[in-house]
Structure 1
């Protein structure tokens, strides 16, 4: 059996956890400015129709009492790592899908699925004070649909002989790959439920939505999913972006502050994964929406913010003409391998330096939270920059593996997976 574990309204729940006065109130995490977009909404906010991917302006119209909280991706990463550690204590094969969800393969686990799921939910509740919805099924597809059906804060086990009865009443757009266009095409032919799809010949579905999509729909409607639980996806790059609430000049201090913050986030993620990067890439989007990038491959792989920032600053300077207006800045590290190499100290160089400092910061943040220690320039607020963790700056951080990017987006108009 496969387990799909999904934290409910993850970013919003973390904010309600660390700010008890927000519990029971409609809360949304995202950008507060005119370009802001909701990343995550509490269930109290969802009752008003507020949801992930929605412009903040519209969310405030739907819910005037909405409390907007800036995203703190460092804090969410720490909490996510703690939850994933709990999941790994229950099964050998755990596949993280994003910060707030993962699959577990229960093969070889000597506990009945329902009992294990209850233990798992209890551990996360006791240790992290977060609600975890869990679905259990014979494969990833059924487990995922079961966890969605169990929300919020629930558990649903679908045995192999119960799959058909569970799937048939579901709306067709609950299946993977059925977006608005596909759903419209199916609706025109009266195919509204998973049962309708299961009763439709494969060739008919292929004529309606295309060969590949038709084959996927046929298999999904029957509850078939051969995908295994893959314990770890190899990372190819890590990165993040910041969209400013108002365009800034290329020489504004917020640019260097933003690059430093992004360098710190990328470096922390590298060290947490035992990785180092050979290539640093800076991305700039100008006020006219023109986007340019520039990369530099370093002599040795690095995992320190100091080194990443040192490479990023001249890259940015080479990209931006004088008096240019900047809308967005991004910083990505690529060419990942298994950790930074030892370096030979130069004559007179101190034995204890940036590496020890940043690793000490890792330990302090792991124990006391991401805001416990950070560079002084990231503590000082300015009207343009806000708190680097997101007070006025829209966050978009992501990890690219061999599969889809795993990202948290505060300004994309697409329909991202809303945490929870």
Structure 2
């Protein structure tokens, strides 16, 4: 028996929340992200996307493409509030929910009696009625195809991909639509004249391993409509962190120290709210030439306080030789566990 998997994805989530909180923004090019020239777009409304604005685009480019756009600094606390309400609706349908991000999840509805499209329509109705937001849903027999379907006719989309539609429905798709193929892999394939799924489909299996290493088999199977990944009901959060792009590039460690203190405060608040602690502190730096560098330190005890997080991150930075100015800095804490688990091991 085939599984029945839903992939639900909020439409332009951050921007949509801004619009429901301020209806005067409706129909306008809303762009959420860093509002300075050095910022980055987090997401934008579909009106802004018509001008070529997209996620992860530098703000200055977004302003060039869409000079009349309304640029808004993110309100993460508000997005989390609305996300919690969306997930309450999803959990009212089934407890087999795998959160992927703040605005995205998989649901396994294999054993529910109603038809999948009826369930999907009900979710869409409930989200729209309660929150005023639209959500796109894909339905299929595995995660890869369900995610592909949810992106098929956004916004407010509903798409079903059945087994008899595969692989022909996949053939015209560009390679970037295949989950697991990154930008570098796509360029590599483009260089040998492979631009869509049909061309990739016709390559011998051995070539997949040559190009993608150990993931070659997964890519080979996915474009044939096969994906064995289960919907994971509980996904343990592996890290918590904060980062920011600086207003001005700097090599002064004392300037960077201020950011580390702020990040440590934010991380402490999250850890206390969720009763977590961690053991590995990671410092991330992006240089003026856009080179990423990370350094980590694993401690001999679990920590959660601002002071401990700051001291560990600062010790990493202190010994680093900054050969180039820094444009972005971040701190994260990994190897997380609940504090109850730590207490139980003591007894």
The 8 Å contact of residues 45 and 63 in structure 1, kept in 2 or not, is answered as yes
Please tell me whether residue 110 in structure 1 is matched to residue 96 in structure 2: no
Pairing partner for 1:151 from 144, 149, 154: 154
Q: Is 232-241 or 164-173 further displaced after alignment?
A: 164-173
> How does 1:79-118 map onto structure 2 within 5 Å?
79-118=82-121
Instruction: Give 3-state SS (helix, strand or coil) of 1:218's partner.
Output: helix
Q: How many residues were matched structurally?
A: 332
The CA distance in 1 between the partners of 2:54 and 2:37, in whole Å, is 17
Q: In the alignment, does 2:49 pair up with 1:46?
A: yes
Give the alignment of 1:388-399 within 5 angstroms: none
- Which residue pairs with 1:309 in the alignment? 306
Q: Which runs of 5+ in 2 are unaligned?
A: none
Out of 62, 68, 83, the position equivalent to 1:65 is: 68
Structure 2 residue aligned with 1:23:
26
**1:134–1:150 Cα contact (<8 Å) kept:** no
Other-structure match for 1:412: none
Which protein, 1 or 2, shows the higher relative CO under an 8 Å CA cutoff with sep ≥ 6? 1
RMSD: 3.3
Per-residue deviation at 1:313?
4.6
Aligned positions of 1:185-196 closer than 5 A: 185-187=188-190, 190-196=193-199
Aligned to 2:204: 201
CA distance change for structure 1 residues 267 and 190 in 2, over 3 Å: closer, same or farther?
same
TM-score (norm 2): 0.81
Is 1:74 aligned to residue 77 of structure 2? Answer: yes
TM-score by length of 1: 0.68
> Offset of 1:75 from its aligned partner?
2.4
Shift of 1:187: 4.1
2:173 corresponding residue in structure 1: 170
Task: After TM superposition, give the deviation of residue 299 of structure 1 in Å.
Answer: 6.3
1:271–1:78 Cα change, 3 Å: farther
Contact 2:138–2:146 (CA<8 Å) still a contact in 1?
yes
> 1:30 touches 1:37 (CA, 8 Å); kept in 2?
yes
Specify every segment of 5 or more residues in structure 1 that has no aligned partner in the other structure, as ranges.
Answer: 303-307, 344-420
Moved over 6 A (4+): 286-292
**Structure 1 contact 26–67 (Cα < 8 Å) conserved:** yes
SS at match of 1:4: strand
Give the aligned partner of residue 135 of structure 2: 132
- Structure 1 residue 78, shift from structure 2 partner: 2.6
The answer as to whether partners of 2:267 and 2:306 remain within 8 angstroms in 1 is no
